[in-house]
Chain A
Amino acid sequence: AQSVTQLDSQVPVFEEAPVELRCNYSSSVSVYLFWYVQYPNQGLQLLLKYLSGSTLVESINGFEAEFNKSQTSFHLRKPSVHISDTAEYFCAVCSGNTPLVFGKGTRLSVIA
């Protein structure tokens, strides 16, 4: 069975500082990996995804994530955060015929 571990439940960071949100997964087969963001009182929005090809994937708002197969990780990074990045971030994995499995989420709080 697949599982996703988001190692930090809360991450406070000052505005314009870099941030890394950690995600590790377990699966015995090839996987597809996703990061979703949830703003207060909203649904989930797709931030970025790894399906195949380049292990480094980027979003349009400056986030990037790197698929590391040997470490079974898919950490999310941003070199300089904004107040508007305050939200909850979810890492998710699926493979084969299995449904999407989510981590517990990481609440990113950007402090002015």
Chain B
Amino acid sequence: KAGVTQTPRYLIKTRGQQVTLSCSPISGHRSVSWYQQTPGQGLQFLFEYFSETQRNKGNFPGRFSGRQFSNSRSEMNVSTLELGDSALYLCASSLQPQETQYFGPGTRLLVL
């Protein structure tokens, strides 16, 4: 079974731009979560989706948004990028919420 895939793997943007990251979960998995990883803050939860509905949201500003499609694929969007948004963005999928999460390789975003 293929693992979680994330595209693109690397991205360079400038301040003020917006970005969309994509995540394809493991086949059959219906829950997708997103995390931001930075050296200073570690791994921080962004949001969780299940059956196209957001179940949980972390403590991030409204510039961070996401959605899930009927095939369980998910996207997250960050608008008006700031330098501090530079991070590794990780997506994880699970069969159901509260079940074991399996992570993708991440998208490394650099904001200049």
Task: Please give the residue numbers on chain A whose beta carbons come within 8 Å of chain B beta carbons, in ascending order.
Answer: 32, 34, 36, 42-46, 49, 90, 94, 96-105
Contact = CB atoms under 8 A, between A and B. Distances in A.
26 contacts: A34-B100, A36-B103, A42-B105, A43-B90, A43-B104, A43-B105, A44-B90, A44-B92, A46-B100, A46-B101, A90-B43, A94-B98, A97-B55, A97-B56, A97-B97, A98-B56, A99-B33, A99-B45, A99-B58, A100-B45, A100-B92, A102-B42, A102-B43, A103-B42, A104-B42, A105-B43
Interface residues of B, number: 22
B112 to A, nearest CB: 20
Interface in B53-112: 55-56, 58, 90, 92, 97-98, 100-106
A32 B35 CA distance: 19
Name B's interface SS: strand
Contacts of B45: 99-101
B42 A49 contact: no
B94 to A, nearest CB: 10
A44 B103 contact: yes
Contacts of A36: 103
Contacts of A101: 45
A49 B100 contact: yes
A96 B42 CA distance: 23
Contacts of A100: 33, 45, 92, 101
B102 A99 contact: no
Nearest to A104: B42
Contacts of A45: 103
Contacts of B33: 99-100
Contacts of A94: 98
